[in-house]
Structures are given as structure tokens and as C-alpha cells.
Structure 1
């Protein structure tokens, strides 16, 4: 032993340090493994996913492919289990019953605000969304809903279609067509990201935002977006260059919106009656307090950031899935001709009321895209008080009929819903891995309809609380996405405009999902080949 110690002491200092780190790491791994294997487990707690490294836990396998991780864990542990993620305990509740447990949890049990504020508040700003008590958030959702009116939607369809047509005519991505080429290869994610922000700014954001979509605004958006990363959810406020740029951009973008609001209050801007800024300026809280200008600015940033990520992801996946099945593109085109054809070979402009009620194939394409590619794979809540788990959810795979197994999710855990697992579960869907919009048409759709659809007003209008469904792309309950109808309008109008102008196909193969950001994006390049219709 003394000889070994002497040998170690004779080594250079850097080698001694590295050796010490390796020894400490090895010991921590051994202790961690032995504690999981040998120590008795508290049977009232959900089973814990085996992991080699303490603190790190399952971060690597979960981060690489969350859905594969969830399915593999479900096979071992059942629909409810806990995994370690960088020092945090995340308890996953899968299946429709698991989604219901999370989405309809009582306010004294679960909190979305406590789960997300460290990620969203530095980006959106103070005083809005998850930086306020839940009751205030519900009122703010009511404010936003006022701007999502049918009257406004009727105006938006024309504006969105015009933006898409102008993009196709002027954007460098489509330059070969402008020079007479018979086809063009486009990275659809890049293109759809630009189209999404152009159309959202033309409609919801307002004319001043659209007019300022130049390089300076693009840089502000990019810097702000750089702080919207998973690391800031796990370890907030790290002194990183991205976070410094995020904070500076947040201040500048907030002031940008404040300047717009100031000019509008002075009456120096016209033609803004259909956008969200105008709607928010007319709102007040139930206690009589008017929403202040800084709150409006931060709510507009929240709408810009949240809507941009989810819509550009869903739209890109829709275009890619259609490119993999070109026969559905032609079916969409035939539907456009049937519904909008003028009898002389022309097609009438898109119309909101017709689009909403008379384009079932388009609706089915969007539904099927959302089924296979929900934008967010994990939806989390912070557990504020112990949550008893219903026996029907808690039963592990090894349970026998009649077992009455129950678990308790302890205070301090994060509880996770993953409705995307149910949406591609082969036990719940026929040909679950096949992109088939026809499953949403006719009698086939009946098996996926919500059988229990209770309604409740959480402060922003009646909304479905039914979460016992295999299809929940917009969530359920008090935190159901308020932008659902606008998303259908925006995506449907963009897709319809492309269908009228082009045929398209994949250049190579369908891209794999990229799970490195908070939203599930297609890996790049995500190339499709566009051919103009004759």
C-alpha cells in the first residue's frame, strides 16, 4: 500500500488530479448502482428508471430520443415511472389516464408556473404567462382570446395567402423558378420558418412589426430565441453568452413593442383594428385594472416566440409528410378545385368560412401531422403536494388481475405528460406509424373521437377538460393551447396556397426528428423538390 501511495505521489500533479477525478467518479457510479440494486425501495413511490451515473441520471438516453425512452421504460415499469434528469426527479404518467392526471391536476397539487418560469420569463419578460399567479394567467388568456375573433380570422386568410405568394415570388430559395427552371430544391424548414414569422407578423403582430422585419429585427429574434433552450429549463440563469444576448434582446424587443403601443395611443397609426396589439389595448382585469403597456409588450413577445416554434415545426412536418405521399397533395388539389373552382378553370381566393367547414381532406392532413408530430414531447408540472395515483394508472406491467397497486408522486417531483406517446401507440391506432389522413375521414374517425368531453371555464371561456383521449396535440384543461384555431387557419392557408401552386416530393428520405431543442423539429437538410403546376 505504501509503495502504491509513493508511486501515485511521484506522478505529475495533473495526472494525480485526473486520477483522483476518475477514482471519485468510479466510486460514485458504484455507490449509485449498489444503492439501486441492494437498498429496499419505498413501494409507495413509482419505480425509478435504472441509471449508471448519479445526478446525470437518464439525461442522455432521454435527450437523444424521448419517445423511444418512454416506450422502453413503459415496457419495463408500466405507465408511471420516475427518472433522474440532472438532479431532478421527473415522474412520467403515460397513456390517456396519465395525461388526465397531469393536465387536470388540482392547483394545490401541480403548477405549470413553477415548472416553466425559469425558462420562459427571461424570454417573454416579467408580468406575463408563467411569471404571474395562475388566476392572472387565465385572465391574460382571456385577453388574447378577444383578439382571436372570427372577424379577424376572415381578414387573416387573405393576408396569409398574399404573404405566401409574395414569398414564392421574391425569396432567394425560389430564385431558380423565377429564372425559368422547371423545379427547385428547397429546405422546407428554413422556408416555413420564414413564412411563419411573416404571416404571423402580418396578422396577429400588426403592421408595424411586419414593416420592421428586417435584419435588425431578425437578429433580435435570433438572440432572444437562443435563450429558449433545454439547459435553461434544467439549470436556469447560467452565465452563458447566449443568455447575455437573450437578456439584451428581450429588453430591446420589449422597448420596440412599447414604442408601437405609444404611437397607437397617440392616435398616429391607422389600419390596425384586426391585430392582437389593438385587442390587448382594450382589455382590463376583473378588478378594474387596465392591462399596462409593458404587459402588452411582453404578451406580444410570448405570442411571437411560442407560436413561431410550434407552427413552423408542424408546418414543416406537414409539407414533408405530404412530400413522402404525393398522392395526398393531388387529393388536396382536387378538393381545392371542387370547393373553390369557378367553373371556367380558375380557382377562387381562399375564404375562412369555407376553409373551416368544407375542406375535410385539408383538416385531416393537419390532424394527422399533429398526431405523428406533436410539437412538444414532454409537458411538465411541478408537484406542490403529494399526488395519489389512481390504481388503474399505477398498476405495473407485472401486476396480476385484482392487484390494487397505488403510488404517490411526492412533493418536489416534476410530473410529465407525454400525449405524443399515445398518439403513436400501436395498441391505440391502426398502422400507427403510417401517415394516413384518411383515418380522420368518415366512419374511421369515430373511433378516435373524444367520448367524454366535459367543459369548464377557467377564466378565458369554456374549454374541454377531457384528457382521457389518445389524441391531445393541444393539451387539455386550463393550460390547453389558446392558439389552436389560429394554428389551423395559418397552417391550412399556407398549405392550400402551396397546393394550388406546386406539386412536390422529397429530395431524399424523410428527415429524422431533432430533439435537441424544446420543440421537435425535422433534422436538416429537410429538402423537398417543388415543381410548379402548369
Structure 2
């Protein structure tokens, strides 16, 4: 999934322990040890070179492999065979595969279950997960969204007035994009989806619990979730404490009632499975933790990239501001309030968000565990050789049971065979009704509708634009993410000017693709 895992692809267990020690435990003289490792593998290893390439840029690595092997190829990752399937057809092969053959649960449970908790998401059978996603939809209603807009605006305005990095002066100041957005998105998500009790706690001891729990959400735990590392011990302690914290809130709400609440917890407390079983307190708590952790990571990364690119393109940032003036200006330098329906009628803002998600999908690679031998469609495998098992000359290629398969939305969303200057951030491409972006969006949102158990959604697995995934595991919080990002960007555009000399490179060493440090944006208040 991320560069740390990719860096260690093909290494034996002794080298792996050295890497773990250097990176996570902080063994002294780590540089010397790494130098020894590199010398050990400087000759005779055909795996290290491509792995190092993935550390710096998996996009380039995948395209280089595609030139050599075609759209489908296999490499070794910590002793596991991983078959990569690129392009829209590859996305469909992996993300549109049958659950009898492909499992997201078996691919991800080792990293998600210790963080989210037992009995939810990838710790349950797929049918139960689909029901849990259906429950969540009840908290993502239009009525709730209308309420959330004002709450998010208040959080942004409060941050502008109180954050020490955003001191109100006529001079240019600076702030770290990712650090600031990480704070803001947890404030906005906790105030809306999580509820008032959680928002009040975010500034206190809850923040420490979140930090420790987040520390276990690391790529290494995809394969070794139970390693006795200090970060995992802190993760486990924090998970229990946070779970108990939510359970106490749930019990208090059950005792006093939750009428009039518009948060996710209120919606979930009224749900029950098809067999009649209601959600237990612990189960509810773990769903709420999953929503907090998963949503905050992706939103903080995407909002950071949106600000960084906007600061680098003053013309785009000015266009966002001008759009706010045109739609909401009162003529005296003030603005009327944003409303939910307004966000659907702001093409500049919408294009900025969509282009950011295209160039910077939060997760560059998506894994599935192969449960049964998986034939590769001829339309996919014919583009090049495949390093997987060949059943027979007539049967074609088969990915064997026990392998992992990998799709990369990051490749299809910037593929030079599909997109003009695919790696360039250019929001104007979304205003071309005849362009690739419009076609990709239509395939993603307006294509074949399928109900996997949580309501009909566009399958979208063959679209070259999949920032929120596709198929049965498409992100259920997609609409909330657009709402949150739109309100944050619009409110900031009303308040500040921004500039930056260069957009930072990607940091692929984390579960979510974030900007590399330093990521400071210069800003000043609008006059």
C-alpha cells in the first residue's frame, strides 16, 4: 500500500527486523545499519531497485512496470505475491470483482480492526459490513447536511480568530497546510458527524487518545498488526479508552433521549439489522471511531492539497473568491451565509475540489485478498505478459488463491494515455463538457446503478476517476467529504489571500498520501 511496505518488498525476515528497528523503534546508528543492508543487496537482487522507485513515486514505478510487462504484473511484497492490474479495466477487475473471489476484509483487517475495534468494518463478514454502511447513510441525509454547513463555517471562523498561526495582522504570515487542516477537519467532523459531546472533548484528553490511536494506523500493520511495538501498545490502550468513552456517551444518551440531534450517533442508535438485532453500545462506539479515524485522514490530506495548489495558483484562488462575491456578496465586503444547496451551483469551487481529488487521491493503491483462483479477462491480460500462474493455453491467465491483487486509482486518474498533462493540477479541465474529465465523472457517478446492501450507487468500477473507490466498497462518506471540503475552502477564500513558491512533493510513506514537509503557505487577511 505505501512506500514503507514497498521499500521492504522482497527482503527476508532478518532484514525486515532491521528495518522495523530502524524506522519504528529508533535503533541508534540506523544509518549505518541501513548502509549494511543496502550493501547486502547491492548485487544479485532484482527486487530492490523497483522497490526503491516506489518509495519516491509509485506512479512512476507502476508506469515503468507497465512499459515492461503490460497492464498486469506481479511482484513480491514481504513474501506475498501481489498482482497489479492497471488502468480502468484493471480497476474494474479488482474493485468490481465478486466477493466469492476477492476480499477486502482479509486484506485490511490487521490494520483497521485494532484501531476501529471489534465487530465493525473489516472485522465482520461482507454482508454485515454492507448493513453497517446502510446504517451510516441514515446519518448522511440532506436535512443533516443543511445543518452541518453552518456548523462547519463556525469552526473555520473560530480557527481564523483563535489559532496562533493565523494571527490577524496586515502583514504576510505563514501556516503549515497539513498541520492546520488536520486540526480543522477533526474539529469540523467531530462537531457535525460525531456530536457535541465529542467536539467538546477534542481539545482535552480526547486529543491524546486520538493521537495514540492514530499512531497504530500505519502501513506496517497491514502485514504485522500484532507486532509488540510501542506504537501498537499505545494504540491498544487508546482504543479501549476511546471505546469506553463513546460507550459512556451512548449510555447517557439512551438514558436522556436524543431527540433533535442531527449527528451520526443519533442516527445509528435507531438502527437494527435485518434479523432484528439492534446495534449494541460497543458496536456503536466502534463504528463512530471508524468514522472519525477514516474520514479525518482523507479530508485533512485533500484539503491540504487544495490549499497548497490554490496558493501556487493565485488566479484560481482569486476565481474562487470572485465566485463567492458574485453569489454571496452583499456589496459592502460582507457575505451572506452559505447554504447546502449553494454548493451545487459553484462551478469554480467544484472544479478545484474534483481536480485536487484527481491529482491527489487519498489512497494511491487498493488491495484485495484472492480467496479463489481468479481468471484474468483477456481484455486486461492481452496488453502484456503476466507474472502469475497460467492454467492452460486455452484457459488464459489465473491469479492463484492466496495472492493479493492491487488496483491504483492514482495511475488511471493521471494516465497520460487518458488525460492531457495528467499530473498537472488544472481545474479548468472540469469545465470542458466534451473533455475526458466530464466523461470520467459521468462514468463514476451516472453509470450502472447497483445496490450492494446500502442503497443503489453507481458501480463506476471502469471509470478512470475514482477518488472515493468504486463498487461495493465505494466510500459511504463521499457526499459529506464534498460538503466539508467545499465549506472549508469557500470560507477560507472569503477571509485570506495565499501564496507559495512550489507545491510540495507527495509523501508516500503514510497510509494516506499527504504533502511532504515543509508545506508552509504564506497568507494575509483580505482587506
TM-score by length of 1: 0.86
User: How much has 1:309 moved relative to structure 2?
Assistant: 0.5
Alignment CA distance shift 1:394-1:241 (3 Å): same
Tell me the distance in 2 between the aligned counterparts of 1:287 and 1:71. 47
Counterpart for residue 439 of structure 1: 429
Tell me the distance in 2 between the aligned counterparts of 1:28 and 1:242. 31
User: How much has 1:524 moved relative to structure 2?
Assistant: 1.3
Tell me the distance in 1 between the aligned counterparts of 2:164 and 2:308. 20
User: How much has 1:433 moved relative to structure 2?
Assistant: 2.3
CA contact (8 A) 2:115 2:216 kept: yes
Counterpart for residue 191 of structure 2: 202
CA contact (8 A) 1:423 1:471 kept: yes
Residue 482, structure 1, aligned to residue 476, structure 2? yes
| Higher alpha-carbon deviation: 452-461 or 335-344 | 335-344
Tell me the distance in 1 between the aligned counterparts of 2:382 and 2:394. 7
- Equivalent residue for 1:148, pick from 140, 145, 150: 140
Counterpart for residue 38 of structure 1: none
SS of 1:186's equivalent in the other structure is strand
User: How much has 1:449 moved relative to structure 2?
Assistant: 3.9
Moved over 6 A (4+): 25-29
| Higher alpha-carbon deviation: 493-502 or 438-447 | 438-447
RMSD, aligned α-carbons: 2.2
Which structure has the larger Rg?
1
User: How much has 1:184 moved relative to structure 2?
Assistant: 1.1
Residue 463, structure 1, aligned to residue 457, structure 2? yes
Residue 387, structure 1, aligned to residue 374, structure 2? yes
Residue 173, structure 1, aligned to residue 161, structure 2? no
CA contact (8 A) 2:215 2:235 kept: yes
User: How much has 1:503 moved relative to structure 2?
Assistant: 1.0
Alignment CA distance shift 1:463-1:447 (3 Å): closer
Counterpart for residue 498 of structure 1: 492
Tell me the distance in 2 between the aligned counterparts of 1:514 and 1:338. 37
Tell me the distance in 2 between the aligned counterparts of 1:398 and 1:458. 33
User: How much has 1:27 moved relative to structure 2?
Assistant: 11
Counting only pairs closer than 5 Å after superposition, residues 41-440 of structure 1 correspond to structure 2 as 50-51=46-47, 59-175=51-167, 177=168, 180-267=169-256, 273-355=261-343, 357-397=344-384, 406-440=396-430
SS of 1:82's equivalent in the other structure is strand
List runs of 5+ in structure 2 lacking aligned partners: 1-35, 387-392
Aligned length in residues:
481
CA contact (8 A) 2:170 2:524 kept: no
CA contact (8 A) 2:311 2:498 kept: yes
User: How much has 1:126 moved relative to structure 2?
Assistant: 0.1
| Higher alpha-carbon deviation: 495-504 or 181-190 | 181-190
Tell me the distance in 2 between the aligned counterparts of 1:525 and 1:51. 31
Tell me the distance in 2 between the aligned counterparts of 1:27 and 1:362. 49
CA contact (8 A) 1:164 1:494 kept: yes
**Cα offsets for 1:481-533 (capped at 9, x unmatched):** 00100000000000000000011011x42111001111000011211111111
User: How much has 1:59 moved relative to structure 2?
Assistant: 4.5
TM-score by length of 2: 0.88
Counterpart for residue 512 of structure 1: 505
Tell me the distance in 2 between the aligned counterparts of 1:247 and 1:396. 46
Tell me the distance in 2 between the aligned counterparts of 1:414 and 1:142. 27
List runs of 5+ in structure 1 lacking aligned partners: 1-21, 34-49
CA contact (8 A) 1:395 1:405 kept: no
Tell me the distance in 1 between the aligned counterparts of 2:438 and 2:292. 35
Tell me the distance in 1 between the aligned counterparts of 2:57 and 2:438. 31
CA contact (8 A) 1:502 1:532 kept: yes
SS of 2:442's equivalent in the other structure is coil
Alignment CA distance shift 1:131-1:211 (3 Å): same
CA contact (8 A) 1:188 1:316 kept: yes
Tell me the distance in 1 between the aligned counterparts of 2:260 and 2:411. 42
User: How much has 1:26 moved relative to structure 2?
Assistant: 6.6
CA contact (8 A) 1:371 1:473 kept: yes
SS of 1:450's equivalent in the other structure is helix
